């Protein structure tokens, strides 16, 4: 792969992301329903009050969005939540939540809101790019194996529907704690919401590649390209191709981390200072466009390299 082509590729991506950051910093004053859903703000307060007296384990039905959901909460080793999408498609609406024994009430509420945001986006797939993110998730889960699970986890954390769901957790997590803005930021920085962004930023493609035998990683990478990216035209053939491929993801993860950290901070501003943020193109369109641009450019560079 020629150095001049790599340089042009990086310049292209940097230009895309500079526009993306400008959308965050220069467009305040209007509420953006993509980033935070108003109905979820209201449900956050309702469930925070509702869960104050709950005795675990519990299974209780609640009408949400005109649908009867069975919300099941029980103790586990850590916070986790799950929607069985096969049941969901067959009109069985269940949300299963696990919390540690000494759970935080607000984080319990935020975990539920996380899943409700998934449900909104999943159901709204015809109106947005949201459903494609879920479909990618389905195929991606097959790569949660061994050493490759590190990369799987980061791709999962960077998926559109996960970024949006975690962003919607911020409001219920800090809104009702009666803390100062600074205290809320301190709490957020100890949460999974913040850790996920830091993990994306800390990915080191060189260290990741060194964990594998070259031929094993080539095989796994080509399978990922075919089954997750649905691309049958590009093949990683050698170590140089591996380096180029994972360097692209390294930069992409860092951009996602940087951008969504700014969005996280803007959400805190919304709660404490009533500042509203909007994006001219919408977070969905821009984030998806960045990944597509990177992938198309990578393929073209690889083709040139192989000629």
Per-domain boundaries in the chain: 3-53+104-306
For residue 89, the model assigns a pLDDT of 84
52-85 pLDDT, tens per residue?
Answer: 999 999 999 999 988 899 999 999 999 999 999 8
Q: What is the pLDDT of residue 137?
A: 72
> Could you write out the DSSP letters of every residue in 11-34?
HHHHHHHHHHHHHHHH-BSS--TT
Max Cα distance, the chain (Å) = 67
Mean pLDDT value across the chain: 80
> Strand 67-75 to strand 94-99: parallel, antiparallel, or no bridges (unpaired)?
parallel
Band of residue 175 on the pLDDT scale cut at 50, 70, 90 = very high
| Vertex 76: Cα angle to 50 and 73 (nearest 5) | 25
Q: Give 93-118 pLDDT, tens digit per residue.
A: 999 999 999 999 999 999 999 999 98
More confident residue, 297 or 66: 66
Beta bridge partners of 64: 67
| For residues 227-245, average pLDDT | 86
CA-CA distance, 276 to 272, in Å (whole number)? 11
* Percent of the chain scoring above 70 in pLDDT: 73
| Predicted confidence band of residue 297 (pLDDT cuts 50, 70, 90) | low
When mean pLDDT is compared over 39-53, 126-140, 271-285, the highest value belongs to 39-53
Percent of the chain having pLDDT more than 90? Answer: 51
Better pLDDT: 271 or 15:
271
How confident is the model at residue 288, as a pLDDT? 46
Q: Is 275 exposed, middle or buried (0-12, 13-18, 19+ CB in 10 A)?
A: middle
121, pLDDT greater than 90: no
pLDDT 10s digits, 187-207:
999 999 999 999 999 999 999
In this predicted structure, the answer to whether residue 156 has a pLDDT above a threshold of 50 is yes
Count CA atoms closer than 13 A to 275's CA, side-chain side. 15
Tokens representing 53? 């007296």
User: Whole-model pTM?
Assistant: 0.78
Cis bond leading into 200, ω under 30°? no
* 299 or 198: which leads in pLDDT: 198
Matching residue, tokens 């100062």: 180
Beta strand 80-82 pairing with 58-64:
unpaired
pLDDT for 22 equals 47
256 closest CA partner among 172, 163, 182, 146? 163
Question: Which is it for strands 94-99 and 80-82: parallel, antiparallel or unpaired?
Answer: antiparallel
């Amino acid at each position: 792969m020629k150095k001049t082509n790599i340089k042009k590729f990086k310049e292209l991506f940097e230009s895309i992301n500079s526009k993306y950051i400008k959308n965050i910093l220069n467009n305040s004053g209007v509420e953006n329903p993509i980033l935070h859903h108003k109905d979820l703000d209201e449900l956050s307060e309702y469930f925070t009050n509702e869960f104050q007296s709950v005795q675990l384990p519990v299974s209780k039905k609640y009408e949400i969005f005109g649908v009867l959901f069975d919300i099941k909460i029980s103790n586990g080793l850590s916070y986790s939540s799950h929607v069985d999408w096969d049941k969901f498609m067959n009109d069985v609406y269940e949300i299963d939540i696990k919390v540690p024994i000494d759970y935080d009430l607000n984080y319990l509420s935020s975990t539920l809101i996380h899943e409700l945001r998934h449900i909104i986006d999943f159901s709204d797939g015809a109106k947005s790019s949201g459903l494609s993110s879920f479909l990618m998730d389905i195929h991606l889960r097959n790569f949660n194996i061994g050493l490759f699970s590190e990369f799987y986890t980061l791709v999962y954390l960077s998926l559109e529907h996960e970024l949006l769901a975690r962003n919607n957790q911020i409001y219920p997590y800090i809104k009702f704690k009666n803390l100062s803005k600074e205290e809320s930021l301190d709490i957020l920085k100890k949460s999974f919401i913040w850790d996920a962004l830091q993990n994306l930023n800390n990915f080191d493609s060189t260290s990741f590649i060194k964990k594998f035998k070259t031929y094993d990683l080539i095989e796994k990478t080509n399978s990922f390209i075919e089954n997750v990216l649905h691309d049958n035209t590009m093949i990683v053939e050698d170590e140089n191709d591996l380096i180029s491929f994972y360097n692209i993801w390294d930069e992409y993860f860092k951009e996602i981390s940087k951008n969504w950290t700014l969005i996280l901070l803007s959400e805190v501003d919304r709660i404490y200072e009533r500042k509203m943020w909007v994006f001219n193109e919408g977070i969905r369109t821009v984030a998806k466009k960045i990944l597509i641009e990177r992938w198309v450019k990578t393929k073209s560079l690889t083709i040139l390299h192989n000629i």
